[in-house]
Amino acid sequence: MPIEIDFYLLNSSSLEESLPFVCRLVEKAYNQSHQIFILTETLAETQKLNDQLWTFRDVSFVPHDIYQEQQQQPTPAAVQIACAEANPQPPHNDILINLTTNAPDYYNDFNRVLEVVPNDNNLKAAARMRYKHYQANNYKTTTHNINI
């Protein structure tokens, strides 16, 4: 089955401003019984997203955890947040939400890749490179313009 790759082009100018949308995207995938692996660029972004997932909606709960490969017992959370700086190996291959400027080496192990792109010239340029890479490798890509 071919990988589906979706680009979400946001009108917010930074990743931090985009976090409420990311949380809604995670919640939707979780409610559809998916496992989600979220990759952030930095540990600070990982922590901000972790905090936001705890508080973004009063009437919702998305079980999540910061992924650490050396954990004694794997967490049962369906949502794992990892920092690209740690070079993590994903615990599953269902959905990857990429919040980094590069496509991780293991993106093609996933059933679906969701690329979230804030309205920042540098982030959009990096997203264009990923888009071209996916297209060159014959992956089906879909673009969504999102106003938040």
**CATH value at residue 121:** 3.40.50.10110
- Say what the pLDDT of residue 87 is: 84
Low-confidence ranges of the chain (pLDDT < 70): 1, 69-76
- Say what the pLDDT of residue 74 is: 52
CB 25 within 8 A of CB 62: no
Q: Which residues pair with 47 in a beta bridge?
A: none
- Say what the pLDDT of residue 122 is: 95
CB 37 within 8 A of CB 80: yes
- Say what the pLDDT of residue 30 is: 93
- Say what the pLDDT of residue 1 is: 65
Number of folded domains in the chain?
1
The residue range of the domain holding 46 is 4-146
